[in-house]
């Protein structure tokens, strides 16, 4: 998917003995979004924005070793071994033949170096130059920034698309706010800019600017603008949309003291596992300290400062734990870390409370399980058939507030909460709304200035397609039971030619699929790691349609 950005100049940080300034160049193709102020929490902001950079450049995918040199050596040795074998009964002849072959190989290598040497040298110099002078050619470093009436926030993805980062900064981070215009834009965020961030000091006045003048397009200043065309993979955009859906899932939540997070990171730094399982097993017992067991060593870290206040005992395993090292830089400035675990092998979120800032780190189920391909979390989010008039009401109300809770929107529009949640879920999947995990608010955030091509980013998958097919063919029966304090339990049968399936799902008060079970092979293999199976989806769709008829 091709995104066209146009920036007014380049983002930069200037610094001298008494002052510093941060100036972001926004995308001039988008509606004017700007902010001008002076930083108050300088060191905390520097560390937080630097941790966001660590998310951007993170890539923990397996990288096989380069065996080119070894294969060349093996090919040379093969000739020598063959000659030695063929002449094993004549040592002198073998030695002579080996020496002759060695001479020939040296001549060939010398000739190859002579011909290809300048190319190899130039190639190395080119990539060295890129890494040192234009590191942006190695990384895509253009995060999304949104200015709201109460805060601004940056969002980004890692290179391997398994880690999501979001930095929210309230206006208390600034001691002087001159002017701002709410909206969403992309900013020019270069690698060199990261290096300049490290020069921010507490004793220097630091100006922070998303340049409003960048939107004044004048022919005489045309050279100040530069076009950037970034061909982002569909998976990157789809992953952004999945994160918000995953944030709305029911989760076991608890607070960790910064020293507990330090102990986690310290263990991961000191020890490197050589075999599986590479997981952390969180043991959560009501009223007792959180315990974390690091496998395969079965080393238990007791978080004595952090009590679990949930209603029932739970044991949850997560994988891809080395991505938690991104939180290291935040430990000295964090008050606490709030952890949200959605289930075994499901996404986890870590919200660092930095006072007037919040840093959210979202991790997929495991490192190679990126946000877009494996987990269909939107299928577990609130889903409802919402007519266009209701969707328009919800969006118009949200545009006047910029952020709100579903109950607030329902009260203002006269719609029921389920309809509002369904509309917000649709807008979330279209990239127009984001769920704010630490406040529980839905916020307006246009991921792209143009409507996203939902035919390419479509959330429908084979499971959802099959579910709708079963509904149309009348193969689904459903019965509901209201369980106090838990939600609505749906049981039913999906009558197919070969057999009958018996799915069971639980819908909580926020219209989310909180629990599920089925006797099909898809659920037996994946549980809910890859979203609900087609039979659970059919059960949910059938129930929604029966409610609409009533």
pLDDT at residue 53, rounded to an integer = 84
508 domain residue, yes or no: yes
Q: Are residues 508 and 392 in the same domain?
A: no
Same-domain check for residues 125 and 90: yes
* pLDDT at residue 292 in the model: 96
Q: What is the pLDDT of residues 384-423, one digit of tens each?
A: 667 888 888 999 999 999 999 999 999 999 998 888 988 8
CB under 8 Å to 247, separation ≥6 — which residues?
340, 349, 362, 435, 437
Whether residue 164 is predicted with pLDDT greater than 60 in this model: the reply is yes
420 close to 409: Cβ distance less than 8 angstroms: yes
174 domain-assigned: yes
Q: Does 487 share its domain with 524?
A: yes
- Percent with pLDDT over 90 in the chain: 25
Could you tell me the CA-to-CA distances from 386 to 248, 395, 427, 455, 543 in Å, in that order?
19, 12, 11, 19, 15
**CATH code for the domain in which residue 418 is found:** 1.10.10.10
110: tokens are 């010398």
Co-location of 388 and 532 in the same domain: no
In whole angstroms, what is the distance from residue 435 CA to residue 510 CA?
13
Q: Shortest CA distance to 377 belongs to which of 349, 350, 418, 415?
A: 349
> In the structure, what pLDDT confidence band is assigned to residue 229 with cuts at 50, 70 and 90?
very low
C-alpha dist (Å) from residue 55 to 323, 324, 391, 448: 9, 10, 34, 21
536 and 407 inside one domain = no
- Per-residue tokens: 276: 């599986």
Lowest mean pLDDT among 45-49, 150-154, 269-273, 462-466: 462-466
Q: According to the model, what pLDDT value does residue 20 have?
A: 59
CA distance linking residue 435 with residue 153, whole number of Å = 13
Q: Would you say residue 435 lies in a domain?
A: yes
Residue where a domain terminates, one of 397, 414, 444: 444
Write down the pLDDT at residue 320.
87
**How does pLDDT run across 231-272, given as a tens digit for each residue?**
455 566 677 777 877 888 888 999 999 999 999 999 999 998
Q: Which of 94-103, 183-192, 372-381 bottoms out in mean pLDDT, i.e. has the lowest?
A: 372-381
| pLDDT score, position 372 | 53
The pair phi, psi for residue 410, each rounded to 5°, is -60, -40
- Residue 159 belongs to some domain of the structure: yes
Task: Confirm whether 474 is domain-assigned.
Answer: yes
Residue 56 near residue 156 (C-beta atoms within 8 A): yes
pLDDT of 106? 74
Which residue has better confidence, 111 or 129?
111
pLDDT, tens digit, 9 for 90 and up, residues 50-97: 898 888 887 776 666 666 777 777 777 777 776 666 655 555 666 676
Q: How many C-beta atoms surround the C-beta of residue 236 within 10 A?
A: 18
- In terms of pLDDT, which residue wins out, 347 or 107? 347
Q: Between 289 and 61, where is the model more confident? A: 289
DSSP code of residue 474:
T
Most confident of 66-75, 236-245, 350-359, 514-523: 350-359
pLDDT of residue 224: 38
Residue 57 tokens read as 């450049």
CA distance 52 to 329: 10
User: How confident is the model at residue 5, as a pLDDT?
Assistant: 45
**29 and 150: one domain?**
yes
| Cα–Cα dist 113/76, whole Å | 16
Q: What is the pLDDT of residue 459?
A: 43
R_g over Cα of the chain: 28
| Pair 33, 163 in one domain | yes
Contact 447, 237 (CB under 8 A): yes
- Asked, for residue 333, whether it belongs to a domain, the answer is no
* 391 and 466 part of one domain: no
Which position has the higher pLDDT, 36 or 43? 43
Please provide the average confidence, as pLDDT, over all residues in the chain: 77
Domain at 51, CATH number: 3.10.150
Residue of 474, 466, 483 whose CA lies nearest to 536: 466
Model confidence at 186: pLDDT above 60: yes
Residues near 79 by Cβ (< 8 Å), separated by ≥ 6?
A: 101, 105
Tell me what percent of the residues of the chain surpass a pLDDT of 70: 71
- How would residue 323 be classed by pLDDT, with cut points 50, 70 and 90? very high
* Euclidean distance between CA atoms 301 and 290, whole angstroms: 9
Of the ranges 14-18, 287-291, 528-532, the best mean pLDDT one: 287-291
pLDDT in the model for residue 548:
59
Instruction: Return the minimum-mean-pLDDT range out of 56-70, 352-366, 453-467, 522-536.
Output: 453-467
Judged on CB neighbours under 10 Å (0-12, 13-18, 19+), 365 is buried
- Is 246 inside any structural domain? no
Domain span holding position 435: 382-444
Q: Look at residue 339 and tell me whether its pLDDT is greater than 90.
A: yes
Q: How far apart are the first and last CA of the chain?
A: 42
Quick one: pLDDT at residue 223? 40
Dihedral in degrees, nearest 10, Cα atoms 513, 516, 522, 524: 150
Q: How many domains does the chain have?
A: 4
Q: Are residues 471 and 429 in the same domain?
A: no
Beta bridge partners of 301: 292
pLDDT at 211 over 80: no
Model-wide pTM > 0.75: no
Q: How far apart, in whole angstroms, are the C-alpha atoms of residue 326 and residue 293?
A: 20
Is pLDDT larger for residue 133 or for residue 329?
329
d(CA 511, CA 426): 13
Same domain, 508 and 397: no
**Can you list the positions of beta strands (E) in 142-237?**
144-147, 151-157, 163-170, 174-181, 183-188, 205-210, 225-231
More confident residue, 333 or 1: 333
**Does the pLDDT of residue 275 top 80, yes or no?**
yes
Q: How many CB atoms lie within 10 A of CB 313?
A: 11
CA angle centred on 467, ends 465 and 473, rounded to 5°: 105
Domain termination site, one of 181, 206, 232? 232
Highest mean pLDDT among 129-143, 149-163, 272-286: 272-286
The three-state secondary structure class of 479 is strand
Residues 470 and 504 in one domain: yes
- Do 513 and 474 have their domain in common? yes
Cis peptide before 296 (omega within 30 of 0): yes
Q: Does residue 453 surpass a pLDDT of 70?
A: no
Residue 125 inside a domain? The answer is: yes
- DSSP H or E segment with residue 315: strand 314-319
Mean pLDDT of 20-39: 65
Query: For residue 190, what pLDDT is reported?
Result: 62
pLDDT band at 215 (very low <50, low <70, confident <90, very high): very low
């Amino acid at each position: 998917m091709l995104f066209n950005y146009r920036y007014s100049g380049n983002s930069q940080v200037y610094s001298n003995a008494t002052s510093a300034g941060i100036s972001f160049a926004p995308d001039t193709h988008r509606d004017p979004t700007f902010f001008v102020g002076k930083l108050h929490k300088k060191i905390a902001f520097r560390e937080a924005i630097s941790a966001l950079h660590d998310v951007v450049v993170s890539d923990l995918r397996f990288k096989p070793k380069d065996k080119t040199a070894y294969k060349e050596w093996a090919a040379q040795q093969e000739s020598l071994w063959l000659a030695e074998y063929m002449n094993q009964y004549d040592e002198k002849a073998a030695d002579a033949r080996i020496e002759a072959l060695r001479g020939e190989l040296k001549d060939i290598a010398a000739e190859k170096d002579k011909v290809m040497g300048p190319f190899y040298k130039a190639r190395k110099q080119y990539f060295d130059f890129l890494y040192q002078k234009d590191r942006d050619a190695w990384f895509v470093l253009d995060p999304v920034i949104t200015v709201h009436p109460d805060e601004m926030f940056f969002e980004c993805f890692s290179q391997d698309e398994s880690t999501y980062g979001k930095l929210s900064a309230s206006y208390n981070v600034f001691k002087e706010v001159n002017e701002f215009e709410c909206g969403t834009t992309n900013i020019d965020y270069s690698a060199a800019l990261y290096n300049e961030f490290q020069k921010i000091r507490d004793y220097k006045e630091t100006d922070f600017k998303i340049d409003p003048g960048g939107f004044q397009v004048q022919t005489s200043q045309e050279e100040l603008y530069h076009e950037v065309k970034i061909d982002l993979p569909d998976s990157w955009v789809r992953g952004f949309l999945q994160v918000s859906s995953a944030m709305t899932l029911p989760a076991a939540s608890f607070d960790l003291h910064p020293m507990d997070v330090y102990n986690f990171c310290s263990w991961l730094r000191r020890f490197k596992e050589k075999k599986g399982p590479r997981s952390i097993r969180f043991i959560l017992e009501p009223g007792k300290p959180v315990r974390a067991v690091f496998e395969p060593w079965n080393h238990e870290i007791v978080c004595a400062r952090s009590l679990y206040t949930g209603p029932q005992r739970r044991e949850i395993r997560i994988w891809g734990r080395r991505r938690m090292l991104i939180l290291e830089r935040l430990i000295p400035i964090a008050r606490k870390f709030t952890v949200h675990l959605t289930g075994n092998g499901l996404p986890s979120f870590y919200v660092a409370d930095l006072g007037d800032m919040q840093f959210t780190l979202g991790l997929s189920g495991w490192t190679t399980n990126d946000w877009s391909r494996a987990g269909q979390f939107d299928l577990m989010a609130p889903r409802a058939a919402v007519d266009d008039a209701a969707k328009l009401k919800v969006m118009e109300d949200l545009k006047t507030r910029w952020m709100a809770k579903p109950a607030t929107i329902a009260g203002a529009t006269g719609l029921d909460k389920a309809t509002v949640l369904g509309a917000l879920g649709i807008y979330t999947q279209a990239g127009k709304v984001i769920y704010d995990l630490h406040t529980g608010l839905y916020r307006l955030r246009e991921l792209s200035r143009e409507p996203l091509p939902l035919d390419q980013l479509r959330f429908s998958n084979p499971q959802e397609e099959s579910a709708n097919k079963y509904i149309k063919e009348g193969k689904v029966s459903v019965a509901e039971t209201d369980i106090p304090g838990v939600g609505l339990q749906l049981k039913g049968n999906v009558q197919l030619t070969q057999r009958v399936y018996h799915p069971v799902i639980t819908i909580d008060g926020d219209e989310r699929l909180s629990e599920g079970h089925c006797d099909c092979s898809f659920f037996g293999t994946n549980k809910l790691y890859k979203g609900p199976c087609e039979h659970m989806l059919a059960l949910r769709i059938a129930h929604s349609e029966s409610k609409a008829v009533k």
